């Protein structure tokens, strides 16, 4: 009798567990990590979620080594220290370089990976921030020219004295790599945040869209709104993400305008790009931030396989027409929807 009681009780206790395990969508696995100089979070649902998340973490760590500007063994250090000689790099680096080259072209040079020496002199890569002398910036700019970097198969040549940094694209590419792992593990529901770059796979386990918060650039602990997405990357570049205040009391941020080597200040304080490819969205968010309001809108009209949410420095929100219906405002910021066809 006692044994039957125990069997019945354990049967009852087992039931919820079996139910939870029986429905693969209910099995969730998450990981928090610090990599690529930022906090990251991975969340996957499905019976293979744990294996997928473990593999994703390892892939992120490996790509961090590949793209690092400081690690002596990284592809980027090899390129930067080659003194003009050809170097062989990984397929991952080739892919990021190609995205950067395409975006350089598409953005009229706004995205420029060879700006690295200028970024370093501002201290954005080391944290030793200071406003450089104008002469120093002008001199460094003379050796900034992405068109002189050649990629042939897995062989890269970068002229002596020129150095690159893939910081504007690498996290988006890394997100794509994580999503490939999710696909290989048959995960149909996953969301990752790589330092604020959000990428989603499928929808939430209940079939509804993912909700992604858009930070208020004027109050970064608040949201200006949220967007509902499925299978999309939502990637933001803003002037509030990494900056310092100079002795002159001005704010200097980490996205530089290649035109003069100073923080890009062309009417935008934040650019969010929504699209299918993380690497492209990441490259775009940086490029459009540099291009500024008018050029960014023109860029979208020319090449619009993405949507965007722009916040202007005078406090206006611009939404492209393809995302307007999925945007949910959380504050009173004046908002305008930008149409595909130019208004008369
Ligand atoms: P975050 O990495 O902070 O999410 P971004 O994707 O916009 O933001 O990338 C900014 C990084 O890109 C900078 O930290 C710097 O390494 C690099 N960068 C800054 N300005 C440019 C530029 N005009 N072109 C290419 N890379 C840039
Ligand atoms: Mg970017």
- Alpha-carbon distance of 109 to 259, in angstroms, equals 9
Q: Which atom of ligand 1 is nearest to the CA of 289?
A: 7
| β-pair type (197-202, 189-194) | antiparallel
- Alpha-carbon distance of 41 to 304, in angstroms, equals 29
169 CA from centroid of ligand 1 (Å): 8
Q: Which atom of ligand 1 is nearest to the CA of 110?
A: 23
* DSSP, residue by residue, 65-92: HHH-SS-TTSHHHHHHTSTT--EE--HH
Ligand 1 pocket test, candidate residues 80, 119, 255, most atoms within 8 A of CB: 255
* pLDDT number for residue 196: 83
Binned at pLDDT 50, 70 and 90, residue 68 comes out as very high
Q: Which atom of ligand 1 is nearest to the CA of 111?
A: 24
* pLDDT number for residue 167: 96
Q: Count CA atoms within 13 Å of residue 66 on its CB side.
A: 20
Q: Tens digits of per-residue pLDDT, 307-331?
A: 999 999 999 999 999 999 999 999 9
Residue written as token pair 């954005």? 124
Q: Tens digits of per-residue pLDDT, 139-192?
A: 999 999 999 999 999 999 999 999 999 999 999 999 999 999 999 999 999 999
* pLDDT number for residue 292: 98
Phi, psi of 129 (to 5 degrees): -70, 140
Can you tell me the mean pLDDT for 99-104? 98
More confident residue, 270 or 341: 270
b/e per residue 184-209 (b: at least 16 CB within 10 A): ebebbbbbbbbbbbbbbbbbebeeeb
72 CA from centroid of ligand 2 (Å): 24
Can you tell me the mean pLDDT for 243-268? 97
Asked whether the beta carbons of 200 and 190 are under 8 A apart, the reply is yes
Encoded tokens for 270: 């934040």
Residue nearest to ligand 1 atom 4, measured at CA: 237
Can you tell me the mean pLDDT for 224-246? 97
User: What percentage of the chain exceeds 90 in pLDDT?
Assistant: 89
* pLDDT number for residue 344: 56
Note the ligand closest to the C-alpha atom of 270.
1
DSSP structure class, residue 230:
S
Q: Tens digits of per-residue pLDDT, 7-32?
A: 333 333 333 333 333 455 569 999 99
Binned at pLDDT 50, 70 and 90, residue 2 comes out as very low
Determine whether the shortest distance from the Cβ of 254 to ligand 1 is under 6 A: yes
Can you tell me the mean pLDDT for 66-92? 97
| β-pair type (317-320, 335-338) | parallel
């Amino acid at each position: 009798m006692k044994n039957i009681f125990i069997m019945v009780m354990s049967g009852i206790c087992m039931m919820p567990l079996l139910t939870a395990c029986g429905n693969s969508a209910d099995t969730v696995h998450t990981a928090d990590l610090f990599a690529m100089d930022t906090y990251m979070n991975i969340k996957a649902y499905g019976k293979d979620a744990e294996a997928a998340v473990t593999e994703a973490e390892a892939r992120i760590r490996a790509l961090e080594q590949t793209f690092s500007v400081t690690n002596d063994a990284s592809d980027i250090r090899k390129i930067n220290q080659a003194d003009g000689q050809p170097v062989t790099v990984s397929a991952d680096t080739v892919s990021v370089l190609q995205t950067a080259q395409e975006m350089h072209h598409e953005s009229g040079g706004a995205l420029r990976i060879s700006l690295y020496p200028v970024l370093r002199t501002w201290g954005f890569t080391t944290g030793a921030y200071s406003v450089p002398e104008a002469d120093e910036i002008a001199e460094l700019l003379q050796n900034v020219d992405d068109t002189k970097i050649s990629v042939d198969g897995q062989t890269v040549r970068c002229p002596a004295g020129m150095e690159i940094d893939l910081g504007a694209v690498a996290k988006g590419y890394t997100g794509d790599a994580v999503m490939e792992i999710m696909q290989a593990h048959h995960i149909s529901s996953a969301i990752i945040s790589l330092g604020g770059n959000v990428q989603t796979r499928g929808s939430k386990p209940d079939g509804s869209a993912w909700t992604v918060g858009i930070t208020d650039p004027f109050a970064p602990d608040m949201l200006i709104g949220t967007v509902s997405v499925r299978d999309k990357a939502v990637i933001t570049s803003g002037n509030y993400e990494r900056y310092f205040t100079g002795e002159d009391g001005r704010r200097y941020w980490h996205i530089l305008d290649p035109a003069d080597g100073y923080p890009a200040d062309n009417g935008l304080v934040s650019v969010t790009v929504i699209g299918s490819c993380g690497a492209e969205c990441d490259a775009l968010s940086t490029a459009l931030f540099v291009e500024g309001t008018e050029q960014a809108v023109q860029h979208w009209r020319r090449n619009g396989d993405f949507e965007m949410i722009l916040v202007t420095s005078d406090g206006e929100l611009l939404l492209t027409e393809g995302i307007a219906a999925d945007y949910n405002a959380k504050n009173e910021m004046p908002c305008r929807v930008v149409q595909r066809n130019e208004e008369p």
